[in-house]
Amino acid sequence: MGQRLNRCLDVPVALPPLRRRLLLLFIMLFLWLYMFYSCAGSCAGLTARGSPAPPRAAPPLPPLLPGDPGEESSLEEQRAAPDAGSPLSSFFNGSGTKRLPQAIIIGVKKGGTRALLEFLRVHPDVRAVGAEPHFFDRNYERGLAWYRELMPKTLEGQITMEKTPSYFVTKEAPARISSMSKGTKLIVVVRDPVTRAISDYTQTLSKKPDIPTFESLTFKNRTTGLIDTSWSAIQIGIYAKHLENWLLYFPIGQILFVSGERLISDPAGELGRVQDFLGLKRIITDKHFYFNKTKGFPCLKKAEGSSKPHCLGKTKGRTHPDIDQEVVQRLRDFYRPFNMKFYQMTGQDFGWD
């Protein structure tokens, strides 16, 4: 009987007892892993009584509004799955807990927030929802339970994140986030406000080709040179004004300011600062990036859950229209005092002047 069993297992009769035990242990471990992997998705759907529970779908995100001033991502990015299905992500889908975010990228639009989020998601201890929830500006009445359901599941020691750039310019957002958790860590990606405004206009132009020129939208009166600060593309770049509102609810040390320019020129350096700020081990380094000359910004050698290089979509890195240099200079003069105040408030000189 024993000989037959050994033949079936293709194990020599003369196999030493120690090696035989190790082989059996390996087989048992393999079977356990197989059962665990199979159960990760299906067993999570069972109730305590053992009967199948109906799948609990994440609540729908708000409708996508292509012309919305607060929109940062393209429609393609907004519709992307929050956690594109890598084998590892699929394996852990049945485990972990949905938590409210401990860190939020709150701004700014066209500053580089999508790039920062995609870079951060390479870190094994960062889990982030891909689409912008817009909870603290558009969907607050839906409640925190709705917001939590949007978040990916995390294991102990992992950080839950989201990014919605319009929070930075939303008056109610600081109080609402503070009400959720006073300890929330905030990240703001900032960029030369003049370049940011042109980038903002370029994005709108790609969707509405018949809009007025950048020059005509910039001024209330071109002759007098009076800047129209009611235009969102201009208003967003007055960073010092918006920051004052946030400092009513959060200490400056709880807000990290990331340079959009350095995120392009030295992504690993800026990501090092972000990882330190979040209390994470510095895992994302130079080895994760390569510079794409065609797009003009860094790309990931391997994206989360993929073995292939990954660059941001075609909506990023658009060619800016030619803007009258006199208008550009007037904007630089307009922003200069606000930039100086912002440097003082943050303790950082971003070199925009």
Nearest to 289 by CA among 316, 312, 273, 260: 312
**Is 112 annotated as a binding-site member?**
yes
Sign of the CA dihedral with 301 first, then 303, 306, and 311 last: negative
**Is 111 annotated as a binding-site member?**
yes
Distance, CA of 128 to CA of 304 (rounded, Å): 11
**Is 184 annotated as a binding-site member?**
no
Nearest to 164 by CA among 84, 229, 109: 109
Distance, CA of 266 to CA of 272 (rounded, Å): 10
Distance, CA of 224 to CA of 195 (rounded, Å): 23
> Catalytic site residue 110?
yes
With tokens 């503070």, the residue in question is 178
**Is 319 annotated as a binding-site member?**
yes
Cβ atoms of 185 and 278 within 8 Å: the answer is yes
**Is 114 annotated as a binding-site member?**
yes
Cβ atoms of 87 and 36 within 8 Å: the answer is no
Please give the helix or strand (H or E) that residue 90 lies within, else none: helix 87-92
**Is 199 annotated as a binding-site member?**
yes
Catalytic residue among 98, 109, 110, 185: 110
**Is 113 annotated as a binding-site member?**
yes
Strands 126-128 and 159-163: parallel
**Is 85 annotated as a binding-site member?**
no
Residues annotated within the binding site are: 110-114, 191, 199, 316-320
Catalytic residue annotation: 110
Residues annotated within the binding site for 3'-phosphoadenylyl sulfate are: 110-114, 191, 199, 316-320
